Structure 1
Amino acid sequence: MEKWNELCFILSESVSINASEQIFELKVIQAFEKLGWSHFKKEISVRESIQIGSSNRITPDLIIKSNGANLFVIEVKKLSIDLKNPDHQFQLSSYMRMLRLNFGILIGNEIKIFIDGSLVGTNQFELLETISFKKDNPQGLKFINLFQKETFSQANIEKYIQEKIETIKDNQVIDHLRKEISTSEYCEFLKNKLKDKLLNDYNENIVEKVLEDFKVKIYNSSQIQIEAQHTIYLQSPRNSSENYDGTSKEMELAKIYKKVPVWFNKLDQKNSQILLNYLKLRAQKTPVTFFELEKACERIENFRSSYQAMKTISERNNAKVFDEVGKIISLWEPGKDFVEKEYEKYLQRQNL
């Protein structure tokens, strides 16, 4: 791990964020010399001009060689550049393709390892791994073992690539299944499974009447940030605001039309702060969970009781603006458009 920590010092701590690309390139050369590759012996080839075809030439930043044979190519970008820019990946991939190399390394404010996408059945070059310059980083130790001259071997590289390819393929299958099980067909399948279970104890007429009031929705936990990996929420319209009679709904809307404009003008009120915090969170990500809103409102005294009143239809509440299903918060549908229009007016006033 000491050698990786030394690389972190060379490539991160000892160089200014505003250093030029030429200066940082010297640091990268120094780092790979620490890994045993010799610039003097031309194992590190710097800006070599290479003839491609009859009229084209390329000049990669660095090529690591052994006995004159190209092992891998390195594209260097200064620390202040965002490596997520696809142009940098394209430049590296062009060099890899022209040099007929299966993998290459992009180095800037972090290390990115790419492979030829044809190895995983795609036309794009695939990102295998991103390694940050953090001391004692286990990924950094793996990088050292793979790319230092002493332990470098094509067999180890191929094994590493195959392991990463399997991970990429597994993730592709996982992403596909996550999307598939969120479809209405799977929701209906789960509802039918629930029905079969209930039919063991109740007659079909009762079960049909119970389930006709329920909807099944599958949420991805990586989006809603709750504890269970995939959670199924059953929502009964009879217990939701959608099933209140017209009189209650119209009365609640009348409250919204009266109260919400005031909330967007008197920002010292608890209701104002809670609603604004929700709308700001929603602008950053969807959906918003109760726990996220509670954290955003941690300085609001008696937040829970105030929030409870904002999601409930009752004679004494100020106005219902929220719905909550399985800790996921949304704007109450009947009043949603009005709230959003008032919020737009608020934002316009703030920008004046």
Structure 2
Amino acid sequence: MEKWNELCFILSESIPSNASEQVFELKVIQAFEKLGWSHFKREISVRENIQLGASNRITPDIIIKSDDTNLFVIEVKNPSADLKNPSYQNQLSSYMRMLRLNFDILIGNEIKIFVDGSLVDSNQSELLERISFKKDNPKGLEFINLFQKETFSYQNIEKYIQEKIESIKENQTVENLKNEITTTEYSEYLKNELKNKLLREQSESVVEKVLEDFKIKIYDSTQTEIQQTIYVQSPQNDSDNYNGTSKELELAKIYKKVPVWFNKPNQKNSQILINYMKLREQKTPVTFFELEKACERIKNFRSSYQAMKTISERNNAKVFDEVGRIISLWEPGKSFVEKEYEKFKRRYSG
């Protein structure tokens, strides 16, 4: 763990806030020399100009080599840069494809490890792991064991990649099942199960009269603090939750509709939300006029946008707030929208 903590010092603690990318690149070289790779022996190749065919040429920031064989690429970004920028991932995808590598590394304010998309049935590289520069980080120790020269091996790397891919697939299955479970169909299923149980003790007419006043909704309890795993509520006894103006009901709309919007990006609401999220990645804050321009091809944009920033009984879902023509995500649903957008980018960007 000491070696990882030393890397944290080199790549984070000793970096001034205004350090240039060139200065940070020297720090990355220093860090990999600590891992046993030699700049002097050309095991660390910096900004190597590589000719590919008659017209293609690439210049990766750093290539780690062994006996002139390219092992992996390290792309270096200023520590103040937002590593979520999809162009960085696309750049690494290009390097992997052209150099026939299975994985590459992006280093900035954290470490990101990407794998070639062909290994996960994708058109672009897939994020395997994010490692923050925190002392005694277990992921950091794993990084050291994988990428220091004395323990580096393709066998270990391939095993690591396969384990991460299986974890990604399992997590995706979990998310898909969560989305499937939080549907009206499953709510109706639970209501029928409750009905069958009550029918063992009560007459059908009594049970029907009882259940007509109840709604059953299923929520993922990890989403927000106000959610519950399952809740059964009578609208007659708690009309505030069902009058179309409560925060809880609006959040329920978000949990239902936002995943659909990101799964069907050609819909009008989908395009508005996706355009906003893309603008938000490029700059903050985002103004109404910037979003309107990005959505100029969307028919009746203003009315659709209005419904996406208003709490009302008939709106789709409130995802925006607007103050002085500055647009932000509605705070109660913000984290959920951001999470769904990250899933969307992994599925569709490339």
TM-score by length of 1: 0.69
Shift of 1:286: 6.7
Query: Counterparts of 1:110 and 1:241 in 2: how far apart (Å)?
Result: 48
Which residue pairs with 1:175 in the alignment? 175
Conserved 8 A contact 2:92-2:125:
no
1: CA distance, partners of 2:312 / 2:108: 47
CA distance 1:241–1:192, shift in 2 (3 Å): same
Q: Counterpart of 1:126? A: 126
Letter matched to residue 13 of structure 1: E
2:29 pairs with 1:33: no
Maintained 8 Å contact 2:219/2:230:
yes
What residue is the counterpart of 2:342 in the other structure?
none
1:214-268 C-alpha deviation (Å, 9 max, x unpaired)? 1111112222225x8x611111122123799xxxx9xxxxxxxxxxxxxxxxxxx
Deviation at 1:332, TM superposition (A): 9.8
Matches of 2:240 and 2:41, distance apart in 1: 76
1:273-301 CA-partner distances (Å, limit 9, x unpaired): xx9xx8xxx99x978xxxxxxxxxxxxxx
Q: How many Å separate the matches in 2 of 1:332 and 1:102?
A: 47
Query: What is the CA–CA distance in structure 1 between the aligned matches of 2:123 and 2:210, rounded to whole Å?
Result: 51
Matched residue, 1:51: 51
Residue 230 of structure 2, aligned match among 223, 229, 232: 232
SS of 1:238's partner is: coil
1:117 alignment partner in structure 2: 117
Larger Rg: 1
Which amino acid in 1 is paired with 2:172? Answer: Q
1:221 is paired with a residue of what secondary structure?
coil
Q: Partners of 2:202 and 2:34 in 1: how far apart? A: 74
8 A Cα contact 2:78 2:109, kept in partner: yes
Residue deviations 1:19-68 (CA, integer Å, cap 9, x gap): 11111111100100000011111111111111111122111011111111
Q: Which amino acid aligns with 2:239?
A: S
Alignment-derived partner of residue 138 in structure 2: 138
Q: How does 1:1-352 map to 2 (within 5 A)?
A: 1-225=1-225, 231-241=229-239
Cα RMSD of the aligned pairs, angstroms, is: 3.3
The 1:333–1:93 alpha-carbon spacing in structure 2 relative to 1, beyond 3 Å, is: closer
Decide whether aligned partners of structure 1 residues 243 and 37 sit closer, same or farther in structure 2, where only a CA change above 3 A counts: closer
* Partner secondary structure for residue 94 of structure 1: helix
Residue 197 of structure 1 and its aligned partner are, at CA, apart by: 1.2
**Alpha-carbon offset, residue 206 of structure 1:** 1.1
What runs of 5+ residues in structure 2 fail to find an aligned partner?
256-309, 325-350
Q: Distance in 1 between matches of 2:178 and 2:18?
A: 42
Q: In the alignment, what sits opposite 1:290?
A: none
**Counterpart in 2 of 1:321?**
none
Q: Secondary structure at the match of 1:237?
A: coil
Structure 2 residue identity aligned to 1:182: T
Cα-to-partner distance string for 1:133-183 (whole Å, 9 max, x where unaligned): 111111100100000011111111011100100011011111111111111
Determine if contact 1:216/1:234 at 8 Å carries over to the other structure.
Answer: yes
Q: Give the letter for the 1:140 counterpart.
A: G
Q: CA deviation at 1:124?
A: 2.4
Contact 1:178/1:220, CA 8 A, preserved across alignment: yes
Q: Secondary structure at the match of 1:101?
A: coil
Partner SS, residue 29 of structure 2: helix
Same amino acid, percent of matched pairs: 71
How many residues matched? 265
Residue 211 to residue 65, structure 1, CA distance change in 2 (3 Å): same
Contact map agreement 1:223 1:286 (CA 8 A) in 2: no
3-state SS of paired residue (2:201) = coil
What amino acid sits opposite 2:236 in the alignment?
R
Q: Distance in 1 between matches of 2:136 and 2:37?
A: 22
State how far apart, in whole Å, the 2-side matches of 1:233 and 1:55 are.
62
